[in-house]
């Protein structure tokens, strides 16, 4: 029985840090384990221009506790008014590593997102030319499309035509949640990668809805059927270079989660590595956890693998994590996997 495993220090390729007091409260939870993270730009107002990304990066680094080493990898929020020259300049400077596509209304603070994709074609063509990846929240927002089908419809209606139109554009399908998404990535070799979250490897829609609504399991994309969860686990633990970790750790204060119209988002930064070790051990794939958490993401983004190491040790007694964390913005509930965790980062 494997009792410890050492891997290259991991990265998080999809992270929400928010801003202000919330940023200060949650940043140390990521910086403790992860060397780098792709930082989501859906603030209010959103991070649209290179100057916005620089200012946000400065705020993140100011909030980083002394002694912690962490590199925020900045993104820009794609709008119908985004300027290709600004995007290219921000990328050339080394500041911006990706551009984020939110279909308007798809998730938290996505109201500034894209409705008419023809209006962003010029920006996407420029990105393809300079090798700047597009990270997509892969859901349609049409009211007539069932919320559990939004990812599959997005692939057929938007993503496939987009990639056919601009085949050289590098695309990351963020937080894939369906077998449809996994199969699409597996069928397309060129310029396509996908992140998978911690929580989508562990929960299905029963966790959210059976026996009462569980607001702290509510996220977007919403958790799907068990068959989809199993497809995600198979992809994540396969070692396939196209799949890598993006926690989509997304903190909201408890009053906004436990609400008549609760916010979407699961905060998992603190215990992600313990959860992943549990999942990979269950799948008999501990030898693949380094590929998923530490190797595949840097390869896709053409960045070096971290030289620092992380060791996970399996304890005899459960590792205890707090149920909640206090931040200056209010209490935030940590993701509860629903089972004991025995793997500890040392």
Closest CA to 265 of 339, 333, 174: 333
- 248 is a catalytic site residue: yes
Torsion of CA 297, 323, 17, 28, to 10 degrees: -80
Instruction: Name 23's Cβ contacts closer than 8 Å, sequence gap at least 6.
Output: 17, 59, 60, 63
Q: Can you tell me the distance from the alpha carbon of 113 to that of 42, in angstroms, rounded to the nearest whole number?
A: 9
Query: Token pair of 242, please?
Result: 């196209």
Q: Read out DSSP for 184-222?
A: HHHH--SSEEEEE-TGGGT--HHHHHTTS--GGG--SSP
10 Å CB burial of residue 71 (0-12, 13-18, 19+) is middle
Sheet holding 4-8, edge to edge: 4-8, 309-314, 343-345
Which residue carries 């994540």 as its tokens? 236
From 12, 248, 336, 340, active-site residue: 248
Q: Can you tell me the distance from the alpha carbon of 135 to that of 159, in angstroms, rounded to the nearest whole number?
A: 11
Residues carrying an active site annotation = 248
């Amino acid at each position: 029985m494997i009792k410890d495993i050492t891997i290259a220090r991991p990265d998080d390729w999809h992270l929400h840090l928010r801003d202000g007091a919330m940023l200060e409260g949650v940043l140390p939870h990521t910086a403790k384990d992860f060397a780098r993270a792709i930082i989501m730009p859906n603030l209010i107002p959103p991070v649209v221009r290179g100057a916005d990304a620089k200012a946000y990066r400065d705020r993140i680094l100011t909030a980083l506790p002394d002694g912690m080493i962490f590199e925020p990898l900045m993104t820009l929020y794609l709008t119908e008014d985004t300027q290709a020259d600004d995007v290219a300049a921000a990328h050339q400077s080394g500041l911006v590593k990706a551009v984020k596509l939110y279909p308007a209304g798809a998730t938290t603070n996505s109201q500034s997102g894209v409705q008419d994709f023809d209006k962003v074609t010029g920006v996407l063509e420029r990105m393809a030319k300079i090798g700047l990846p597009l990270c997509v929240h892969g859901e349609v927002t049409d009211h007539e499309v069932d919320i559990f089908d939004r990812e599959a419809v997005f692939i057929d209606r938007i993503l496939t035509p987009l990639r056919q139109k601009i085949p050289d554009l590098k695309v990351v399908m963020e937080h894939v949640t369906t077998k449809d998404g996994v199969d699409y990535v597996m069928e397309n070799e060129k310029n396509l990668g996908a992140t998978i979250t911690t929580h989508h490897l562990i929960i299905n829609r029963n966790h959210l809805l059976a026996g009462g609504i569980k607001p702290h399991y509510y996220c977007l994309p919403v958790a799907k059927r068990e068959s989809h969860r199993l497809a995600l686990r198979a992809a994540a633990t396969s070692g396939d270079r196209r799949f890598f970790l993006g926690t989509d750790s997304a903190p909201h204060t408890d009053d906004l989660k436990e609400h008549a119209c609760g916010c979407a988002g699961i905060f998992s930064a603190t215990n992600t590595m313990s959860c992943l070790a549990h999942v990979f051990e269950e799948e008999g794939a501990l030898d693949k956890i380094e590929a998923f958490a530490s190797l595949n993401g840097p390869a896709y983004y053409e960045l070096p693998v971290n030289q620092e190491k992380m060791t996970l040790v399996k304890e005899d007694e459960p590792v205890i994590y707090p149920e909640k964390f206090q931040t200056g913005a209010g209490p935030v509930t940590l993701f509860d996997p629903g089972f004991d965790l025995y793997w500890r980062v040392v």
